Chains A and B, each alone.
Chain A
């Protein structure tokens, strides 16, 4: 059974199809979705603008997450929103372990290192091709 799915959320232009595919799968299986966004604080520049940049990034991340929640709600899909900061790959793997998820979904355009992720993940990992329509029922 795939009771718990994690979708790694990045900017809309990156992970749109991965999110759609995950919601579509969750609807069919009755799974719970954890939508995870990790703000990469290591790549943020030091200096006076850092706090503002972090604040703007966080607000934008919440916007993307709540749009996912709204879409899930319309389809009666359970979704939990998780916003974290730090090293995205480390935080993502930690969260997957903490919540005992059974499938991890990412975009094929992810900013994470796919080989390292697959090597270290304890659960199956699905990469969704962002160039292909994934919202049809044949997926």
Chain B
């Protein structure tokens, strides 16, 4: 399977998310993926993301959220990562705000890769040492190094 670090570019790592609200945060995270052409239809991509968020929260608890969508509006599987020191309300089951947010975008016909990526990211982010290292990372390169170390 493709490694998480191969799906995440430095440009898609935002260590100081400005947005405070869930939907605005997802927009902010999606911007680099739109800019580099991975998301080919922003409107359609957002419709897919919002449909899922409206159905059920993608906040998995422990300060983590993984908004995700598999849609024709995406050219290839890619990630964006953002850190929100202020915390964002993703309506997580544990009621806690999310500080580490991974956006996962995948083409409609790449279901296996999409599921594998979700599983890999979820597993990584539940490790206390990974969360601590991502919280302390000072540069996008640091984030990639942390993920490469623990993957």
A contacts, CB < 8 Å to B: 32, 55, 58-60, 62-63, 65-67, 69-70, 73, 76-83
In whole angstroms, what is the CA distance A108 to B114 when docked? 30
Q: Which residues of the partner chain A approach B93 to less than 8 Å between Cβ atoms?
A: 80, 82
Interface of A is mostly: helix
Q: Count of A-B contacts with CB under 8 A?
A: 42
**Nearest Cβ on chain B to A52's Cβ, whole angstroms:** 12
Q: Which residues of the partner chain A approach B70 to less than 8 Å between Cβ atoms?
A: 70
Total interface residues on B, CB under 8 Å, equals 18
B contacts, CB < 8 Å to A: 51-52, 55-57, 60, 70, 93, 111, 114-116, 118-120, 122-123, 126
Structural contact, B55 and A66, CB atoms closer than 8 A? no
Q: Which residues of the partner chain A approach B114 to less than 8 Å between Cβ atoms?
A: 70
**Nearest Cβ on chain B to A40's Cβ, whole angstroms:** 17
Structural contact, A79 and B119, CB atoms closer than 8 A? no
Q: Across chains A and B, which 3 residue pairs bring their CB atoms closest together, nearest first?
A: A62-B119, A63-B119, A66-B118
Q: Which residues of the partner chain A approach B118 to less than 8 Å between Cβ atoms?
A: 62, 66
